[in-house]
């Protein structure tokens, strides 16, 4: 670590192990702000400015490339229509959009109040004890049938 005062003449391999162990330890602990150090390594890129645009145009370009590749790669589909250029691309796009857009009318049709069946209850008993006390305050511990 930065405040390590061990003289540099000492056994360097031992120091390397020690630094590595300290680093791993630091990377596996969540500080008080609740932001895990690993999150910056793994997903820090999602917070970059303009990343939305990059992903959007990147995916658009990738989509076009994949469809164009269809012209080069020979295909031997068992099912006739699947041989059409960009068939899978179109089917995937259309299916996905259809499913999501159907969410609007279906949500209106099928969504009811959260307590519709009258059995709305909190989280299960085996959640983190640190938050269980806060969430279950005042509620009986376990339900074992009507009195």
By CB under 8 A, what part of segment 86-115 binds another protein? 86-93, 95-97, 99-104, 106-107, 110-115
Query: How many residues belong to the chain?
Result: 147
Give the angle subtended at the CA of 86 by the CAs of 91 and 77, to the nearest 5°. 90
Q: Cβ of residue 9: shortest distance to another protein, in angstroms?
A: 37
Helix axes 87-110, 51-72, angle to 10 degrees: 130
22 forms part of the interface with another protein (CB under 8 A): no
Return the range that interacts with another protein (CB under 8 A); candidates 7-15, 18-26, 83-91: 83-91
Could you give the CA distance from residue 136 to residue 124 in angstroms, rounded to a whole number? 10
Could you give the CA distance from residue 104 to residue 11 in angstroms, rounded to a whole number? 66
Return the range that interacts with another protein (CB under 8 A); candidates 3-11, 16-24, 51-59: 51-59
Closer by beta carbon to another protein, 16 or else 43 = 43
Could you give the CA distance from residue 139 to residue 41 in angstroms, rounded to a whole number? 40
Closer by beta carbon to another protein, 18 or else 67 = 67
Closer by beta carbon to another protein, 16 or else 93 = 93
Closer by beta carbon to another protein, 7 or else 107 = 107
What are the structure tokens assigned to 28, written together? Answer: 């596996």
């Amino acid at each position: 670590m930065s405040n390590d005062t061990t003289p540099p003449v000492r056994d360097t391999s031992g120091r390397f192990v020690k630094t590595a162990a300290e680093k791993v330890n630091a990377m596996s602990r969540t500080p008080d702000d609740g932001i895990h150090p690993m999150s910056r390594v793994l997903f820090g890129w999602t917070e970059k400015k303009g990343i939305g645009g990059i992903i959007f145009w990147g995916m658009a370009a990738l989509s076009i490339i994949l469809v164009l590749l269809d012209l080069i790669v020979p295909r031997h589909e068992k099912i006739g229509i699947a041989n059409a250029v960009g068939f899978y691309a179109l089917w995937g796009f259309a299916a996905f959009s259809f499913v999501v857009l159907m969410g609007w009318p279906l949500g209106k049709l099928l969504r009811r109040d959260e307590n519709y069946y009258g059995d709305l209850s909190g989280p299960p008993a085996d959640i983190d004890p640190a938050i269980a006390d806060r969430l279950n305050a005042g509620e009986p511990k376990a339900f074992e049938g009507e009195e």
